[in-house]
Amino acid sequence: MKRQPKEFFAGIRKIQYEGPHSKNPLAFKHYNPDELVDGKPLRDHLRFSVTYWHTIRGQLADMFGAGTAVRPWEDGTNSLEMAKTRVRVAFEFMEKLGVPFYAFHDRDVAPEAGGLRETNRNLDAIAKLLKEEQQRTGVKLLWGTACLFVHPRFVHGAATSCNADVFAYAGAQVKKAIEVTHALNGEGYVFWGGREGYSTLLNTDLKREMDHLGAFLHLAVDHKKAIGFKGQFYIEPKPKEPTKHQYDSDAAACLNFLREYDLLKDFQLNLETNHATLAGHTMQHEMEVAIAAGALGSIDANTGDLLLGWDTDQFPTNVYLTTEIMLSILKMGGFKTGGTNFDAKVRRESFEPVDLFHAHIGGMDAFARGLKIAAAIRKDGRLAEFVKQRYSSWGSGIGAKIEAGKASLTELETYMLKKGDVAPNTSGRQEFLENLINEFI
């Protein structure tokens, strides 16, 4: 067996906070984990998480070209030995970066082998190592999930496949993935639709597929209860890619689906910026929709490229974006089981190991700034006061009566006949408010 080096990111020390004037690319300028905002350390506000699939497994291929990633520890195989080495790589990376959490798909961490029994055995072997490394470093599992989209058996979907055996396989796989997540004290478990959608309606019984997806999630909830897993279940909306249409297309569609199948009490949403924009929404829109339903759980932090129409999963560096996100997070009272999971990958052109550090440091600094700016905007109070004033007509009189559900159309008619017409409206002051936000950025 090849002798493994003790250190995989040699020459890179633990990333330190050096403050906004530092010129060191391998230091935080804004993310000081111990700094308090509203009495709570940044570490606990932001709950950063590294994704195993991009950061440890991403080969930086695209649809036109092979992977470019230079990862000196890789031996070119997908063996169990290689998977064990990657666990050490992952935890060295996370320790040096100083993140409290990570997230993985079952097949990111352990290779598929032969039948389900052998594959499960591989997963158990790796889970044992993950547990040891979690204990050694204190890094925790934000959420686990099952990869139900890479293998050709899932070509027509998993829970929504036309083939009942595929549904059965997916159920068995999810059972195991939930158990492993439970064993690793995961704080949550994510269901992302993967291939749960269609490419053409000509061959698709949409109603039947949705019913199957509802049934599948109920089975997962039942199993969760049976084994006593207390972590939070999340659905991650995404409108398309790889399929033309995915059943979990956006926050509103997911909420409707959960309500229709009586699952709303068992799920929250894990929202991803690039998925929001693919759905034709902003991340802020998706977050507000979820918050309104009391169902915002966690976020996949990344960003798209507005000139490219796919899920580019870039690291978030735009402070306007992170400010908007953190305004919503603070408004809902902060994360509980969720966190800021970097479902993001370095560009194909950024192929050296050190680029992984630059990317995460940039994302963490951008979110730290967004948090501090959002907290300052809230403390200032003018924005909230403006919104409050804008709706002041609902606080008394006819407005209060309507909100209390105590008005009839006849009453509204009597009221308006007496008044004659509506008093002139006030300005929405969008530009004024945009300038106000800029005061803080």
Helices H / strands E in the chain, number of each: 15, 14
Minimum CB separation of residue 14 from ligand XLS in Å reads 27
Complex with Ni ion: residue 37 or 235, whichever CB lies closer: 235
At 263, list the tokens.
Answer: 């699952």
The tokens for 265 are 């009490």
How far, in Å, CA of 361 to CA of 438, rounded?
A: 24
Residue 377 contacts residue 327 (beta carbons within 8 Å): yes
Site membership for ligand XLS, residue 248 (CB under 6 A):
no
Token pair, residue 145, equals: 């999930």
Does 236 contact ligand XLS by CB under 6 A? Answer: yes
Q: Tell me the backbone φ, ψ of residue 396, rounded to 5 degrees.
A: -150, 180
Q: What is the DSSP letter of 342?
A: E
The answer to whether 108 is a known catalytic residue is yes
Candidate list 30, 45, 54, 105, residue with the active-site label = 105
Indicate whether 102 belongs to the interface with ligand XLS (CB under 6 A): no
> Which residues inside 316-355 make contact with ligand XLS, applying CB under 6 A?
343
Record the tokens describing residue 88, joined without a space: 């050490």
Q: Which of 216, 343, 359, 370 binds Ni ion (CB under 5 A)?
A: 343
Closer residue to ligand XLS (CB): 17 or 189: 189
Query: CB-wise, 105 or 195, nearer to ligand XLS?
Result: 105
Neighbours of 44 (CB within 10 A): 14
Q: Decide if residue 145 touches ligand XLS (CB under 6 A).
A: yes
Is residue 343 part of the annotated active site? The answer reads: no
Write down the least CB distance from residue 64 to Ni ion, Å.
Answer: 20
Give dist(CA 306, CA 312) in Å, integer: 10
- Nearer to ligand XLS by C-beta: 88 or 140? 140
How many whole angstroms separate alpha carbon 289 and alpha carbon 250? 10
Sign of the dihedral defined by the CA atoms of residues 241, 247, 248, 249, in that order:
positive
Should residue 143 be labelled a site residue for ligand XLS when binding is judged by CB under 6 A? Answer: no
* Spatial separation of the C-alpha atoms in residues 309 and 307, rounded to whole Å: 7
Q: Is 286 in the site for Ni ion (CB under 5 A)?
A: no
Which is catalytic among the residues 108, 250, 313, 343? 108
Among left, alpha and beta (phi > 0; psi -120 to 50; other), residue 241 is left
User: Rule CB under 5 A: which of 297-326 touch Ni ion?
Assistant: 300, 311
Matching residue, tokens 């993310």: 31
Residue nearest to ligand XLS as judged by C-beta position: 192
Q: Does 195 bind ligand XLS (CB under 6 A)?
A: no
Q: Any contact of residue 272 with Ni ion (CB under 5 A)?
A: yes
Q: DSSP for 359-411, please give it.
A: HHHHHHHHHHHHHHHHHHHHHH-HHHHHHHHHTGGGSSHHHHHHHTT---HHH
Binding segment for Ni ion (CB under 5 A), chosen from 136-144, 294-302, 390-398, 400-408, is 294-302
Q: Give the shortest CB-423-to-ligand XLS separation in angstroms.
A: 48
Compare residues 130 and 235 and give the one whose CB is closer to Ni ion.
235
| Residue 321 binding target from Ni ion, ligand XLS, none, CB below 5 to 8 Å by type | none
Is residue 192 close enough to count as binding ligand XLS by CB under 6 A?
yes
Which CB, 270 or 322, lies closer to ligand XLS? Answer: 270
* Residues numbered 261-280 forming contacts with ligand XLS, rule: CB under 6 A: 272
Tell me how long the chain is.
441
Percentages helix, strand, coil for the chain (3-state, rounded to 5) are 50, 10, 40
Which stretches of the chain bind Ni ion, using CB under 5 A?
Answer: 272, 300, 311, 343
Q: Which residues are catalytic?
A: 105, 108
Q: Which residues of this protein are in contact with ligand XLS, per CB under 6 A?
A: 105, 145, 190, 192, 236, 238, 272, 300, 311, 343
